[in-house]
Amino acid sequence: MDLKLKGKVALVTGGSRGIGAAIALELGRQGAKVAITCSSRVETAQKIAAQIEQAGSRAMVVQADVADFKKTQEVVAAVAKELGGLHALICNAGVTWDGVIWKMSEEQWDKVINTNLKGYFNYNRAAAGIFKDAKYGKIVNIASINGLRGKFAQVNYSASKGGIIAMSKALAKELGKFNVNVNVVAPGMVMTEMAAKIPEEFLNKAINETVLGRVAEPGDVADVVAFLCSDRSRHVTGEVIKVDGGQYI
Q: Count of H helices and E strands in the chain? A: 10, 7
Domain that includes residue 150, residue range: 9-241
**Are the CB atoms for 156 and 105 separated by under 8 Å?**
no
In a domain, 207, yes or no: yes
User: What's the pLDDT score for residue 49?
Assistant: 98
Q: What is the pLDDT of residue 197?
A: 75
Report the alpha-carbon distance of residue 129 to residue 135 in Å, rounded: 10
Which residues are within 8 A (CB) of 9 and not within 5 positions of it... i.e. 6 or more apart?
32, 33, 34, 35, 79, 80, 83, 84, 85, 86, 87, 88
Mean pLDDT of 34-46: 96
CATH code assigned at 101? 3.40.50.720
pLDDT given at position 19: 98
Position 50 scores a pLDDT of 98
Q: Is residue 2 part of a domain?
A: no
Main-chain phi, psi angles of 61, to 5 degrees: -125, 135
Question: pLDDT tens digits for 108-154?
Answer: 999 999 999 999 999 999 999 999 999 999 999 999 999 999 999 99
Does 149 map to a domain?
yes
List of residues 6+ apart from 42 with CB closer than 8 A:
16, 61, 63
Q: What is the model's pLDDT at position 196?
A: 75
Across residues 87-95, what is the average pLDDT?
Answer: 97
Residues 225-241 have a mean pLDDT of 98
What pLDDT is recorded for position 195? Answer: 74
Whether residue 157 lies inside any domain: the answer is yes
Among residues 120, 123, 136, 157, which one is catalytic? Answer: 157
- Any catalytic annotation for residue 136? no
Quick check: is 1 in a domain?
no
pLDDT surpassing 90 at residue 222: yes
Higher pLDDT, 95 or 200: 95
Is 175 a domain residue?
yes
Q: Tell me the C-alpha distance between 65 and 100, whole Å.
A: 26
DSSP state of 247: -
Could you give the number of structural domains in the chain? 1
Residue 84 lies in a domain: yes
* Domain assignment of residue 246, yes or no: no
